[in-house]
Amino acid sequence: MHVRFDDLSVMARTVFGEARGEPHEGRLAVAHVILNRVRVGGWWGASISEACLKRWQFSCWNPGDPNRPRLFQIELDDRDLLGCTRACVEALSGAPDPTGGATHYHATNMPAPPRWVRGRAPDVVIGRHAFFRNIG
């Protein structure tokens, strides 16, 4: 997979917006979800940036999400952003996928699970996220 600098920046900011409060394995898991979506391609797009910025896919990029402005303002030396970047580089370098190929996840502290997951048990729970494979 060819990765551009912009892709790494968008990927790291996505992991920051979605999982900055998670331990390293949780950040790595979200990074792998991004890569798994790129590998599937099609509707999600052909690049990391396309997959991350696809409308309504990663809540941190949604209009009105409180995390969104921070994604544009965060300093490159922010400790959490550096940790998220590290997780992305590890995922891109072939670190094992702790999700086993998941393309979907949701925060476990949501008041109700998203409609797309109702009736399904997660394939794996890492930190405060439940991960799912074979969501169609």
- Computed over its alpha carbons, how large is the radius of gyration of the chain? 14
Q: Strands 124-126, 104-107: parallel, antiparallel or unpaired by DSSP?
A: unpaired
| Structural domains in the chain plus CATH codes | 5-100 (1.10.10.2520)
Total-model pTM: 0.93
pLDDT in tens, 44-69: 889 999 999 999 899 999 999 998 99
Helices (H) and strands (E) in the chain, counts: 5, 3
pLDDT in tens, 86-134: 999 999 999 999 999 999 999 999 898 899 988 899 999 999 999 999 8
Helix 5-19 with 79-92: angle, nearest 10 deg: 120
Handedness of CA 62, 108, 100, 117 (dihedral sign): negative
Query: Within a 13 Å sphere around the CA of 122, how many CA atoms are in the beta-carbon half?
Result: 18
